Structure 1
Amino acid sequence: MIIAIDVYYIANRAKTVGITFERWTDSKNDIIALVSDYQNDVAPYQSGQFYQRELPCIISLLTKIDLSKITMIVIDGYVHLDHGKFGLGGHLYNALNQTIPIIGVAKKPFLGNREYLIEVIRGKSAHPLYVTAIGIALEDAAESIKSMAGKYRMPDLLSYLDQQTKLFKFE
């Protein structure tokens, strides 16, 4: 089973959402579970240290999941930053004792990590997604994201996940 995870912040509070699914080509109707978690007193954003804010939120959500059934985790962000330094995905991989592969999907480029990513063009978009990975071959990770359902730049499941986190504004 695959889980995609995203976090949304309002001030020092966060809502983390995970959706589980079986196949990269699954649609919204194929989602197995939608899991949410809320955190208060979230650390403030620090440039270059984003993982310190987001990692505790993701770990808290993962305590609600049977990790023995998870074969892959997709995050909104990077596995590697400049010169191979770990981003959120790399820190998550280590926090999980390097047992579950992590794919990072980002919408904006990060200067200095070109050798650690593959740009994935989806649909008719002129703008790529930036895919990084650990625990899985980068080429396989990029192909997996490219194969996800949806005709736009962002795969349908990842767009749906983003929408679910942003519902936090109305809760």
Structure 2
Amino acid sequence: MKLIVAVHFEGAQAHAAAAAAFDAWDAAEATQTYVSRIAHVEPAVRGELDLRELPCVMQLLREHGLEPELILIDGFVHLDADEMPGLGQHLYHALGGRVPIIGVSKKRLAGLGAQFEVMREEEAQPLYVTCAGIDIGAAKARLRAMHGRKRLPTLMKLAARLAKNKD
């Protein structure tokens, strides 16, 4: 099972962490979904990397007993081409380096060149992919193969909606 995880914040607090599980890269629907309500999140520290999502994702994995073969996150594994650690790299290490992490972002960081861009369908704007535990070429190919006619894959949108849902 592969997971797409998302965390939704309301102001300084997280509302929920959510995941959409899938088996095939071109799956249009999740095989299972998971949501964990987050009671408390430490505030972000100004001038430091924001890692508030890390304990939320770890809680989600523990609470539901999830042991995915791969995790996709909305964000960066590395912050530049020199592999300055981002959220995804910290998650990779927190999981003992056993679970590959693919980070997907709509935003470009100054330190990421064209080799991190992925075009999906006929979108005018690329996505930016960074990864740990998997080759960048393989990560980009898998992202291109994911279901959805728009820039973001269908299941990434689903995970984000689940995290935002207040029910």
Identify whether the pair has TM-score above 0.5, normalized to the shorter chain. yes
Matched residue, 1:167: 165
Alignment of 1:10-159 (within 5 A): 10-11=10-11, 12-28=13-29, 31-46=30-45, 47-51=47-51, 53-68=52-67, 70-82=68-80, 83-114=82-113, 118-159=116-157
CA contact (8 A) 2:20 2:158 kept: no
TM-score by length of 2: 0.91
Q: Structure 2: which 5+ runs fail to align?
A: none
TM-score, structure 1 length as denominator?
0.89
Amino acid at match of 2:14: R
The structure, 1 or 2, with the larger RCO (C-alpha pairs under 8 Å, 6+ apart) is 2
Q: Percent identity?
A: 34
| Alpha-carbon offset, residue 162 of structure 1 | 1.5
Does the 8 A contact of 1:6 with 1:162 survive in 2?
A: yes
The number of residues matched between the two structures is 164
User: Cα RMSD (Å) of the superposition?
Assistant: 1.6
Q: Deviations over 1:66-123 (max 9, x none)?
A: 444x2110011000013321101000000000000000001101121338x6211112
| Alpha-carbon distance between aligned partners in 2 of 1:167 and 1:65, rounded to the nearest angstrom | 18
CA contact (8 A) 1:119 1:130 kept: yes
